[in-house]
Amino acid sequence: MACTSCSSGGCSTDTLVSGCGGGCKSGSCNKMNSYDWLSNMELPTDQKFDVVEVRFKNGFKAFFRNTQKFDLLTGDAVVVDATSGYHIGKVALQGELVRLQMLKKKVDENAELPAILRIPTEKDLAKWKEAQAREMPTMFRTRQIIQEMGLEMKLTDVEFQADNTKATFYYSAESRVDFRELIKVLASEFKIRVEMRQISLREEAGRLGGIGVCGRELCCSTWLTDFKSVNTSAARYQNLSLNPAKLSGQCGRLKCCLNYELETYMEALKDFPTIEKPLKTQQGIVELKKTDIFRKMMWFGYENDSNWYSLSVEKVREFIEMNEKGIFPETLAQLTEEGNNAQEQKKQALEQSKMVTQALEQKLKAKEKQEKSEKNKQTHHKKHRYKRKPKN
């Protein structure tokens, strides 16, 4: 996504930013960005919240305290305190919205947070670029080492610290992996301190990014941070075909979006009757084939018959009550005919009421026109009556 298409007023680091987060130059404007909708409102310096949210590689964010009161803008690079060194990130959010983010993530405002050390110099930025240039070759070489050692793990990403002294290796694995020997090999190979961090398959897809079947960027790489468990029952409630290829996302797990509308479907299904046992007619046993939640229709069919018959929810309730009383209709077609007849009667009644209202409206309009014409005639007659005769 190019910077010119951004509606926030330009998020390039060369110009003043409006709150986009400065992610457009990285090739993905929506990757875990936070729009600062309070960016145009200025507060006094002494009242400004001193905690800043800083964004690192692949959308990872952390809170840092601006103890030295640096004048920062969204998208500015800052040098922050890290484990036995320093790291460089970009300001993602500041001000009162950071307070809300801390409340959302359950971080105490008075907790001990790492500090922002300084604004990076040209030397710091040059060293940071050197560290970033080492990431891809390091990842490819590490994959070779993992394959040679026969470890069952998948290396996803490598992130070097800006001071070029430490690297974090992100990997995914189905079971526990003993990587103690691997750490020794990597430390001697690259002359750095090594940290191994295991991530889930959903987090892996979020770090890599991509386009979903909906045509939009993946939710896990743009805004979704809280991964909830997804079950196949969510697909059943929404009448989706249980096809793993269609229900699985790029991570290989069930799509997170199956949970988005689940509550709405669950609420709508409360109006549908529960069918605990097969229904019966004189022709045979009837099975439920399909449920249309939006139209509130249920399709039934016989065991060895390919024809389906649609019944409304009210009609299905009547059908269940008849079976409980021991009354069995002749066929499903009879129930649908009765339902269709009732619907036709309702339609006819509505049409008749519409015709009556239209006829009354036409009569009222005709009466109003007649009254207007009579008034016009009376005024015209009065004008001629009192009009002076011309002098001879």
Of 45, 59, 60, give the one whose Cα is nearest residue 94: 45
Q: Which DSSP category does 290 fall into? A: E
Structural domain of residue 323, as residue ranges? 279-336
> What tens digit of pLDDT does each residue of 290-312 get?
888 888 888 888 887 888 888 88
**Distant-in-sequence, close-in-space partners of 309: CB < 8 Å, separation ≥ 6:** 299, 300, 301, 332, 333, 335, 336
Q: What is the model's pTM?
A: 0.65
Task: Look at residue 344 in the predicted model and tell me its pLDDT.
Answer: 57
Asked if residue 257 belongs to a domain, the reply is no
Q: Are residues 46 and 110 in the same domain?
A: yes
Listed as ranges, residues in the chain with pLDDT below 50 are 1-29, 392
Q: Residue 329 is encoded by which pair of tokens?
A: 């209709």
Q: Both tokens of residue 288? A: 């439920």
Same domain, 191 and 290: no
Residue with tokens 């960005």: 33
Q: What is the pLDDT of residues 200-229, one digit of tens each?
A: 888 888 888 889 989 998 998 888 878 888
- Clarify whether residues 125 and 94 are in a common domain: no
Q: What was the pLDDT predicted at 9?
A: 40
Single residue among 185, 206, 227 that ends a domain in this structure? 227
Q: Of the candidates 93, 89, 69, 66, which has an alpha carbon nearest to the alpha carbon of residue 79?
A: 89
Of 119, 177, 132, 137, the C-alpha closest to 153 is 177
- Which of 205, 227, 249 lies at the terminal end of a domain, its last residue? 227
> 125 with 110, same domain?
no
Q: What is the pLDDT of residue 345?
A: 57
In a domain, 391, yes or no: no
Q: Is residue 97 part of a domain?
A: yes
Asked if the structure places residue 357 within a domain, the reply is no
Residue environment code for 301-323, b if the CB has 16+ CB neighbours within 10 A, otherwise e: bbeeeeeebbbbeebbebbbebb
Number of domains, the chain: 3
Residues 137 and 79 in one domain: no
Q: Which amino acid is at 258?
A: L
Residue 212 and residue 187 in contact, taking contact as beta carbons nearer than 8 Å:
no
Q: What is the CATH number of the domain that holds 175?
A: 3.30.300
Same domain, yes or no, for 18 and 42?
yes
Spatial distance between the Cα atoms of 251 and 207, rounded to a whole number of angstroms: 11
**Structural domain ending residue among the three candidates 104, 120, 136:** 120
Are 18 and 96 members of one domain? Answer: yes
Rg value, the chain, Cα: 35
Residues 86 and 120: their CA atoms lie apart, in Å, by: 11
Question: Do residue 173 and residue 183 come from a single domain?
Answer: yes
Nearest in space to 146 (alpha carbons), one of 202, 207, 196: 196
In a domain, 244, yes or no: no
In a domain, 370, yes or no: no
371 within some domain? no
Q: 3-class SS at 374?
A: helix
Instruction: Judge if 113 and 133 occupy the same domain.
Output: no
Return the pLDDT at 187: 94
Domain assignment of residue 148, yes or no: yes
